[in-house]
Copies of this chain bind each other. A is one copy, B any other.
Amino acid sequence: MRRPIMLGIVGDSAAGKSTLTGGLVNLLGADRVTHICTDDYHKYDRKERAQIGITALHPDCNYLDIMEQHLERLHYGLPILKPVYDHSNGTLVRPEYIMPKEFIIVEGLLGFYTRIMRQFYDVKVYLNPPEELRRIWKIKRDTTKRGYTAEQVLEELVKREPDSEAYIRPQREFADIIVTFYPPKGVDPAKIDGHLNTRLVLRPTIPHPDFSYLIDNRAENSGIRLELGRDMGKPVDILEIDGNVPEEEALRLEKTIWNHLPKGVPPLNLDRLGRYLDRNEIKHSHPLALTQLLLAYHLLRAYDENATIPFAPPVDALSRIRRQRELSLKEINTEIKRNG
């Protein structure tokens, strides 16, 4: 038996996690993908959060230990009884039994927060849109789907900023890929007509496809560029895809990714690749399509590699023992302090 392949997508509220995930589920096939949102692990419902004065972004507002436990179980292909947070009215309801399928996509706010969580992902993605764009997305979504007014959303954003800075954004460090959709220079994000550019920061922590043909591809309007750079001080590849990339160049990059796909992996459903919703209108974006394809590539690569290695050894036991030791050390330290 194969173990499932797990993709983690982390980003602030309304950073575009669901749009990216939705496309990926389609690409791989809904019957092959288990989709988990870690908002379900909220400790308090909407009313309680208001009373306590805590935001949903704060680690203390989430059962991180239960998340760790469930990620471990999913990683080994074991079922979980997942809590359920109902976003439509902000309440915690009856849990749901989940038996993981071949692929698992875990999206949420704090998915890379602890070391134990991070060890269970095969691919880790961080979504990092400019704050101005994220604000527009959040107002649009929360007023239409979650029963908030625009004023409430803006107020909430101010309230959440310290937690975003302290807990959400530092998780960028642990991602294999950082995805940034952003409007072209000089274009007002509120008026952008769907043609967002994409910047993909590719850390050499997982084996990316060979994009070396792009190194010499320095034509002015090719719309796709690969550059060496640094992210948080460490070397990375930066792949830029413009919103108005010529069809020809987009297809060439697509083909490059295709060519790296291992043989014999499950087929992809390309029907709805790169689609997104803009004011109730379905549109297509080359940068989005190529980003989804790159993520699918990594999942299929891991799926293929995993067919040739034995079932991974259990690690929960190890982390338990480690915790025991940490606890004991802490107790010893307390003891030492107490006795001067």
Which residues of chain A have a CB within 8 Å of any CB of chain B? 1, 43, 45, 63, 65-66, 69, 73, 76, 78-81, 83, 91-95, 97, 311, 314, 316-317, 320-321, 324, 327-328
Give the docked Cα–Cα distance between A97 and B63 (Å): 8
Are A43 and B97 in touch, CB under 8 angstroms?
A: yes
Nearest Cβ in chain B — how far from A318, in angstroms? 9
Question: Contacts A83-B95, A320-B314: A327 and B1 contacting too (C-beta < 8 A)?
Answer: yes
Q: What are 25 A-B residue pairs whose CB atoms fall within 8 Å in the complex?
A: A1-B324, A1-B327, A1-B328, A43-B97, A63-B81, A63-B97, A65-B78, A65-B79, A66-B80, A66-B81, A66-B97, A69-B78, A76-B320, A78-B320, A81-B83, A81-B95, A83-B95, A93-B93, A94-B94, A95-B95, A314-B316, A314-B317, A314-B320, A316-B316, A316-B317
A66 to chain B: closest residue by CB: B81
Q: A43-B97, A92-B94, A316-B316 given. 19 additional CB < 8 A pairs?
A: A1-B324, A63-B81, A63-B97, A65-B79, A66-B80, A66-B97, A69-B73, A69-B78, A78-B320, A81-B81, A81-B83, A81-B95, A92-B95, A93-B94, A94-B94, A95-B95, A314-B314, A316-B317, A317-B317
Complex Cα–Cα for A247 and B76 (A)? 58
Minimum CB–CB distance for A336 against chain B, Å? 18
> Which residues on the B side are within 8 Å of A321 (C-beta)?
314
In the complex, A97→B66 CA distance in Å?
Answer: 9
Q: How far is the CB of A199 from chain B (nearest CB, A)?
A: 38
Give every chain B residue within 8 A of A73 (Cβ-Cβ): 69
A182 to B92: give the CA distance in the assembly, Å: 44
| Complex: A320 Cα to B311 Cα, angstroms | 11
Q: In whole Å, how far is A93's beta carbon from the nearest beta carbon of chain B?
A: 6
- How far, in Å, is A312 (CB) from chain B's closest CB? 11
Measured in the bound complex, the distance between the Cα atoms of B114 and A228 in whole Å is 57
Of the candidates A63, A94, A97, the one having the most CB atoms from chain B within 10 angstroms of its own CB is A94
Closest chain-B Cβ to A62's Cβ sits at a distance in Å of 11
List the 4 shortest-distance A-B pairs measured between CB atoms, nearest first.
A314-B317, A92-B94, A66-B81, A317-B317
